[in-house]
Amino acid sequence: MDIFAEIEMEGSPQKENTPKPQLIGGGADPIRQRFYDMRSMASDNPYTWNEARLFYKQAKFMEDFADDYESHAEFSLHSPCFQRMGYERLRTYFTWRTIVRRGNFPDTNLSYIFLYIYELLACIGASGPAEALAGLVRVQNAYAEKYALNEYLPMWFKDFHIYYDLPQESSEPENELFTWNKLSAYDIEKSKFFTSNEKNASLYKDCFTAAINALNTLCAEKNLRLKDLFVLTGSQYVPWQPFRRAVFHPWLRQEDRKVELPCGEIYLCKNDRWTTLYSAPYAHRKDLISFIIKKVESVTRQKSDFKKITADTSSLQKASSVLNSLGIPPALISATIESAISNYFAEKNRIIVNVNRKNLEKIRVESEDITDKLIVEEIQFVESGDLDKTAPARTDTGFEGFLASLSETESAAFEIIRPNSPISDLSEIKAFANSKGIMLEILIDNINEKAMDTIGDNILELTDVLMVYDEYLNI
């Protein structure tokens, strides 16, 4: 092989496997010599290349190489690898990689990004799988919005956890919603609600997680897995290859083990060969997944006062017979999703009052001190003989007694509430309570407590609306 020759794969896809010798000049340049040594790892006959294995060998050879090339060579190639790159592209890539390893992520061609991803999948340039995985996450954060990386990275993140035996929760997890959405006829990522703003997208993801957890619980109660709603029984193990569609050589000897993912997928390694448990999907799988995704959106929109859409269970006609036979009919799936999201919103909107125990103790001491002073003053007052100046305790009962027992603030609040009951917009009454330095909930409790003392019943109810019970509206 000519020491000054370099293989440059150019032209149409039909010609990509045809090496084109190209003179590159003198051999005194140490960088050219290093590239030549790397390229010499290939056989003289390029048709005998094991492309993934060759890429791994060459990447290990260039693992610690750094460059500072000042030019930029454009690069676009499907499944890029070093053996198909010319001198300028190699220098461009290793210069960009040097910058990325320092923590900066300048813009570049997608093919260079995939080269770096392929290296990280093989833990090239990392102290171990955890560091390589962290590098993949940084690449995703830097480039996923501009380039179509989410078509590949979620799948490869999952494979990374399996192949390197990492805990599923240890890093950037598989995007569960993304995985479901890929199997759905209804694309949530094109929904106006989901795309309107980041807050709604995040809210939807939380509600979707709550719904899936609830469905998992429902299935467990029936001695089923959630997966059983979508796939036929009679599963079998079939060969599995990690990092499919990537240039990856299985360089690490794998121990015999079984990996079960939270989503129900099962992978088995024996004698360094991987298989996965495959179950044929029901014909209704896409319709059922579409319904779940759309139902979550429907309920989330409703709870957020966003324009409503409908997820109709009639779309699950093909699924009905199977789901009914499993004891989980479509109506139960719908109700479970509604309940899960309602519970999520209730918890999300729950008001938490934090009590400072030191302040509470101070209030208690001060209260006891005031009580002691009042008792002393009352004794002194009685002893003075001015009994006609003491105010008798009120013993009025009935509605008139209730009205008379209210404080000035409580009476004013009741006058706001009573003629406007029920009140769905609580902003005015909340503003009134705040102006008096009291929480609305406490104000309502105080009014109800006095109603109990005088008429033996609560008179107000505070839920999503504030209302006076009907029997007390027209007294």
Residues 213-262 pLDDT 10s: 999 999 999 999 888 899 886 678 999 999 999 999 999 999 999 998 86
In a domain, 49, yes or no: yes
In this prediction, residue 397 carries a pLDDT of: 64
pLDDT at 365: 64
Q: pLDDT at position 163, please?
A: 97
Is residue 150 a contact partner of residue 175, using CB atoms and an 8 Å limit? yes
406 and 335 co-located in one domain:
no
Its domain, for residue 332, covers 202-234+279-348
- Do the domain assignments include residue 189? no
Among 324, 348, 372, give the residue marking a domain's end: 348
Phi, psi of 231 (to 5 degrees): -125, 155
Count of alpha carbons within 13 angstroms of residue 370, beta-carbon side: 6
The amino acid occupying position 318 is K
Asked whether residue 224 falls in the same domain as residue 311, the answer is yes
Predicted pLDDT at 379: 41
Q: Is 122 in the same domain as 230?
A: no
CA atoms lying within 13 Å on the CB side of residue 452: 8
pLDDT at 168 (0 to 100): 66
Is there a domain that residue 373 lies in? no
* pLDDT reported for residue 449: 83
Which amino acid is present at 345? F
Both tokens assigned to 416: 């706001």
- Per-residue pLDDT of 17-54, as tens digits, reads 434 433 344 457 899 999 999 998 987 666 667 899 99
Verify that 206 and 178 share a domain, yes or no: no
pLDDT, residue 367, reads 61
Residues 160 and 220 in one domain: no
Q: Give the pLDDT score at 12.
A: 35
Task: Report the predicted TM-score, pTM, of the whole model to 2 decimal places.
Answer: 0.55
- Identify whether 367 is part of a domain: no
Distance, CA of 393 to CA of 372 (rounded, Å) = 20
Compute CA distances 413 → 310, 409, 474, whole Å: 40, 6, 17
Residue with tokens 């495959």: 278
Judgement on whether residues 63 and 153 belong to the same structural domain of the protein: yes
User: Distance (Å, rounded) from C-alpha 183 to C-alpha 176?
Assistant: 11
Give the number of domains in the chain.
Answer: 3
- Are 216 and 292 found together in one domain? yes
What pLDDT, on the 0 to 100 scale, is given for residue 380?
47
357 located within any domain? no
20 lies in the same domain as 111: yes
Instruction: Indicate the SS3 state at residue 237.
Output: strand
Distance CA 161, CA 169 (A): 9
pLDDT of residue 313: 84
* Positions of E strands within 314-409: none
In a domain, 304, yes or no: yes
Q: Which residues contact 386 (CB under 8 A, 6 or more apart)?
A: none
Task: Report the distance separating Cα 315 and Cα 292, nearest Å.
Answer: 11
Shared domain for 308 and 403, answered yes or no, is: no
Examine the domain organization and report whether 152 and 122 are in the same domain.
Answer: yes
Based on its alpha-carbon atoms, the radius of gyration of the chain, rounded to whole angstroms, reads 35
pLDDT tens per residue across all 475 residues of the chain: 333 344 344 333 334 443 443 334 445 789 999 999 999 898 766 666 789 999 999 999 999 999 999 999 999 999 999 999 999 999 999 999 999 999 999 999 999 999 999 999 999 999 999 999 999 999 999 999 899 898 899 899 999 999 999 986 533 333 578 878 888 889 999 899 999 999 999 999 999 999 999 999 999 999 998 888 998 866 789 999 999 999 999 999 999 999 988 666 899 999 999 999 888 888 899 999 999 999 999 999 999 999 888 888 888 888 999 999 999 999 999 999 999 999 999 998 876 556 566 666 666 666 666 555 555 444 444 444 443 433 334 445 678 888 888 898 888 988 888 888 888 888 888 888 888 888 888 888 888 888 877 877 788 888 878 888 877 777 6
Domain edge (last residue) among 121, 152, 182: 182
With respect to residue 425, please indicate whether it lies within any of the assigned structural domains: yes
Do 159 and 230 fall into the same domain?
no
Separation of alpha carbons 153 and 331, rounded Å: 36
Residue 403 and residue 308 in one domain: no
Is residue 358 domain-resident?
no
